[in-house]
Every structure is written in C-alpha cells, then in structure tokens.
Structure 1
C-alpha cells in the first residue's frame, strides 16, 4: 500500500479514419478536485468523458485535460461562408463609395478569415459517435498515465514522510529524557531567586512548595504522550492506500500545537533546542504533506 501524490502528466494518441488526435492530462496540488477541459470544436461530448474519468480516478488536485484533433488534408469538404463574405463587403462599402478604398478583389476576399471554411465536422452521426468513443478511450489512457505518475510521486513522498515521522518520534523521545530533569532545574532556579530576595529567611519547606507548584505548570508529559500518539497515527495513515492528505494535514496541525506548548513550558535551553528542532521537522513534514492526495 502506498500514498499518492498530486503532480503528474499523462499523454495518449489515437487515430480513426481521416482523424488523428493527442490527449494530454496534467495535474498539480489542489485542496479539492478541479477539472478543466479543452477540446476540439464539434466534440463537446468529450468533456463529460474527461470529467467522469478524472472523478473515477482521483480525489484531489487541479487537473487540465486537453484534446487536439485534426483531419487529414483533403478529407473534408471546403465551404464558402457567404454570410461572412457579405459582412466584409458591407463593412468596406462606405470606404469604396467615398473613394477612400479600391473595390475589393475576389482573391483578397477569399483570403479573409472565415470566408473559406474546411469541413472538419463529421457529417454521419454513427461515424461521429465512433470517433468520440475512440477519443474518449484515449482520454482514459492519458488519465491512466497521469495516475501512474502520481503514484510514482507518492512512492517518493512515502520515503520522505516515513523518515520525517521517524525523526519526530526520535526528537520526542529525546525531549522526554530532558523533561525528566525539569523539576530539579525549577527547584534550583527558584531556590536561588528566593534566597537572593529573602536571604536566610527562605525556608526549605516554602522552597519545595513553590517549586512543586511551578513544576506542575511546567510538566510536559501530556504533550509528549500526545506527540507519541500522533506519530503512531501518522505511521498508520502512511500505511493506508487511498486519499489521506487531508488527515495528514490535520495531524500536522496537532503536531505543531504540542511542539509549541512543549517549547513554552521548557525550563532548560537543551529542551528548548529540541523543541525548536521538533518544530522545524514538523514544518518540513507539513510542506511534503501538501503534495499528498
């Protein structure tokens, strides 16, 4: 089992009769599944095939699917667009009447955009349906290629995230060892401060009472226990096949919450240093999680 990434590319080509085409599908990170489609005129039905194909394969990501199709030269009839020709003539008539322009020549008119049209459309309904079905198959193949690329990215991410999860676990264990010395550090620090202020009047009993109260506030055992639980949860998610990106993103927030509290409760420079290293590692984890589907 492995996680999947959200970045990739797939391509497929096909041909049928006088037509040939190429399909390209690419995706980048996204909070939800967004599909954008670009296809040739006259093949509007392909957009549905593209969207359904993407929804059947992916959960998240911004997808762009494009189909470029062409018909072999000479395979389609040529048509004169009289309406477009008349519009050009009407637009130029006032300038000709005023002597500001010469009367248009036929060869010039025929060269204007839209006057001569190639008959790319498939006239037979059965042939049109067969052509769209073949193009839809190519769309599916391009999406399969994209899914393979995203799976490959997921395999790479798996190793990176496994390593970062292990480091978070190691730093948690290191913090746990340093946290055991927190009460003694707090007691020594408070004893010195109270002695400086009260001198010989500072009793050992009061020192112990106040230090104990401060040690309770600085206790980080709950934070360490939750960090260990989050590490176990992360490992479980990384071993799950499917879309776990959202859950990992939420877990990252919980990681950072406990690391922040650990730093705020720290009574020693060594524990603070571990806490900061922990936060840096969690941030690296978060950046990689943004690529997980």
Structure 2
C-alpha cells in the first residue's frame, strides 16, 4: 500500500491545569526533515519525539507544533527583580543627569528589556509528559492515516495510467507490418535513386535489408516495457510504500519508451509513444509525493 507524504494530524491533551494542542503537517522530501515548535520546558524531550515521529512517518518534511494553553492561575514568565531594580536605578541616574524628571512610564519601558521578564522554567512532571507523548503519538498516527487515504487515491491513479500505457503498447503490433513494408520500400527506393537496379546483387540486397530491419526491430523493447509495467504494479501492491523503487522503475519505463521512439520510424507508432510518455510524466509528478 503506497502512502502520500502530504498530510495533517491533530490532537488535544487535557491536563488538570492546562491543555496541550498538538499539530502535525507534512509535505514531500527525499529525506526525513523534522521541524518542531514546542514550549521551552519540553525542549529536552525533542530527541524522544523525533525518534517516535521518524519510526511512524519514516520520510518527508514534518512540522510539529505543540502549544500550551494554561489556566489563569499559571504564569509562563516571572519578573527578575534584581534586574528590574538595577535597570530602574540606572535610568533614574541617567534621567537626573539629563535634567529629565523620572516617571512611572520608565517601569513599562524596563519591562520590555529581555532580562527582566524571563520564562518560568518548571520541572517536567513525568506522568504529565507520558500523557503528552501519548497525544503526540495519536496526532502522528492521525497524520499517517491521512497519508494512507491519500495513497489510496494515488494508487488508483497510477494503476489507471499504467493500464493506459499498456493499452497504447498493445496497439503497436497492428501497425508493425505496415511499418516494415514502408521501411523496406523506402530503403529500396533510396538505393535505386543512387544505383541502377540492374547492377544490384539481389542476394546482397536482401542480406542488407534483413540486417537493417533487425537494427530497427522493437521486439526486445516491447518485452522489457511489458516487464517494467508488470513490476510497477507488483511493487504498487506491496504492503510497504516504496516511492523510491517506483521512481526507479518509472525511469526504466522512460528509457524503453525513448528507445521505441528512436527506432519506430513510423508516425502512428510515434504518436502512441507520445501518449505513453504523457501518461508516464503524470505518474512521475505524483511519485515525488510518495513515501
């Protein structure tokens, strides 16, 4: 079952004196890129969160946001009284030197100085943290489920486009006899324009025609293309999502189509190959988003 790398997951953990809002977002990426925005008191737990997220989601650009909504009795900052007094005294002295009357507005200015209001660091309650981690896991699994649902839609789209390529390929054999006849006639005409037909060794001509037609034979390419299409469907139906492997197979399909196009020498066959390439490009675009 394939999975998309795009998704969203959310969960809210209710604690006695606050609630924790947890949100996950993910988009496609070649590797596991983890970005977290969490309260400072939980920062030391980030490696634990990262390990859990990578185990569940494996790959993609993952953004985690944890927001704490505290009760009224809780304060997330505290005043550094020593710093407040020091700054206030310094501003009073400076004001007197400049002939400015100190006033109460100075206090609000001092409170904006970074070292006056400092975050209130609390020890992590391990029981509380266990609940938060359960909430993180629930939100992460919600994102994973979102990815699976997206993957079902992409799976259907891939299957349809692979079948379209196969149907276009099945139309080629009906055109090959006319292609061979056309190429043979063209070869003989070009040769006759250069050399008098009476001077041509018919046996040698037949040998050269056979050699030339073998060079333009597309049987092997058609066989390999069919094998690649079958393998793509096989990997598509596996239990694990394998976007990278599907991408490699799509590259092999593209190589066979390019070879078919260069050997075709027949307008109708080339038109079919163009349609097959169009279906393949649409597959490749979506494969960038597959886990």
What residue in structure 1 maps to residue 152 of structure 2?
155
Deviation track 1:20-51 (CA, whole Å, cap 9, x = no partner) reads 11000010011122221110011124423321
Residue 112 of structure 2 corresponds to residue 108 of structure 1: no
| CA–CA distance in structure 2, aligned partners of residues 187 and 104 of structure 1 | 103
Structure-2 change in CA distance of 1:224 and 1:90 (3 Å): farther
Q: Which SS does the other structure have where 1:42 is aligned?
A: helix
More moved, 251-260 vs 85-94 = 85-94
Q: Is the contact between residue 110 and residue 116 of structure 1 (CA under 8 Å) also seen in structure 2?
A: no
CA shift, 1:239, in A, is 0.7
Deviation track 1:108-129 (CA, whole Å, cap 9, x = no partner) reads 356435535574x435x6xx21
Q: Normalising to structure 2: TM-score of the pair?
A: 0.89
| CA–CA distance in structure 1, aligned partners of residues 48 and 74 of structure 2 | 26
Match of 2:227 among 222, 229, 232: 229
| CA–CA distance in structure 2, aligned partners of residues 63 and 151 of structure 1 | 16
CA-based RMSD of the aligned residues comes to: 2.4
CA shift, 1:76, in A, is 4.3
Q: Which SS does the other structure have where 2:39 is aligned?
A: coil
Q: Is the contact between residue 263 and residue 275 of structure 1 (CA under 8 Å) also seen in structure 2?
A: yes
Q: Is the contact between residue 88 and residue 107 of structure 2 (CA under 8 Å) also seen in structure 1?
A: no
Residue 102 of structure 2 corresponds to residue 96 of structure 1: no
What residue in structure 2 maps to residue 213 of structure 1?
211
Match of 1:187 among 176, 184, 189: 184
Q: Which SS does the other structure have where 1:44 is aligned?
A: helix
CA shift, 1:57, in A, is 1.1
Unaligned runs of 5+ in 2: none
Q: Is the contact between residue 13 and residue 135 of structure 2 (CA under 8 Å) also seen in structure 1?
A: yes
Structure-2 change in CA distance of 1:219 and 1:73 (3 Å): same
Q: Is the contact between residue 46 and residue 136 of structure 1 (CA under 8 Å) also seen in structure 2?
A: no
Figure out how many residues of one structure are paired with residues of the other and give that number. Answer: 288
More moved, 84-93 vs 147-156 = 84-93
What residue in structure 2 maps to residue 72 of structure 1?
71
What residue in structure 1 maps to residue 285 of structure 2?
287
Structure-2 change in CA distance of 1:61 and 1:180 (3 Å): farther
What residue in structure 1 maps to residue 273 of structure 2?
275
CA shift, 1:289, in A, is 1.4
Structure-2 change in CA distance of 1:77 and 1:230 (3 Å): closer
| CA–CA distance in structure 1, aligned partners of residues 222 and 271 of structure 2 | 15
Match of 1:131 among 128, 131, 154: 128
CA shift, 1:206, in A, is 4.0
What residue in structure 1 maps to residue 197 of structure 2?
200
Q: Is the contact between residue 39 and residue 46 of structure 1 (CA under 8 Å) also seen in structure 2?
A: no
More moved, 170-179 vs 12-21 = 170-179
| CA–CA distance in structure 1, aligned partners of residues 128 and 14 of structure 2 | 9
Q: Which SS does the other structure have where 2:67 is aligned?
A: strand
CA shift, 1:256, in A, is 0.5
What residue in structure 2 maps to residue 14 of structure 1?
13
What residue in structure 2 maps to residue 84 of structure 1?
83
CA shift, 1:159, in A, is 0.4
Q: Is the contact between residue 266 and residue 272 of structure 1 (CA under 8 Å) also seen in structure 2?
A: yes
Residue 12 of structure 2 corresponds to residue 26 of structure 1: no
More moved, 245-254 vs 28-37 = 28-37
